Every structure is written in C-alpha cells, then in structure tokens.
Amino acid sequence: MCVWTRPGCLPFLSIVKLKQTRITVYDVPGWLARGMTNEEILAEYPELATPRIQACLAYAADCERHSLRITAT
C-alpha cells in the first residue's frame, strides 16, 4: 500500500500522504492537471514511482466517487 493517512483533529482535516514522503495524494493529480507528464513528475520527485502516481489517481477517484455534493436551491 502506497498511501498513508494521518488523521487530523477533525475528520475532514485528515492528511493523506504517500508513505515515506511529504507528498500528499492530492499533489499528484494537481501536477497532472497543470500539464506535468508522468516523466516530469518522476524526474522532479525521484522518491515517486509509477505505481505511486497510479495510487494517487486511484485514491482521488475513489474520494470523488464517495463525496457528498450539496447544492443550494
């Protein structure tokens, strides 16, 4: 397992990072959204590997799938 969770004081403040790094699982999708390629991310952050990038994307997708959306009417 690549992902590590350190619960915050409140459930919604949990910090979810990749094991043995200071990189959160939200950093990687953000870098990809800003146009970085997997190769650029791996070059800039050598502690990462392709499976860790995939784990971040899977985690983000799972969070999105389980998020609760409330809209004002």
Model pLDDT, residue 31: 95
Q: How confident is the model at residue 67 (pLDDT cuts 50, 70, 90)?
A: low
Q: How confident is the model at residue 42 (pLDDT cuts 50, 70, 90)?
A: very high
Class of the CATH-defined domain 3-65? mainly alpha
| Domain spans, the chain | 3-65
The C-alpha angle with vertex 32 and arms to 47 and 69, in degrees rounded to 5, equals: 115
Percent over 90 (pLDDT), the chain: 36
Q: Which of 12, 10, 6 is nearest to 68 (CA)?
A: 12
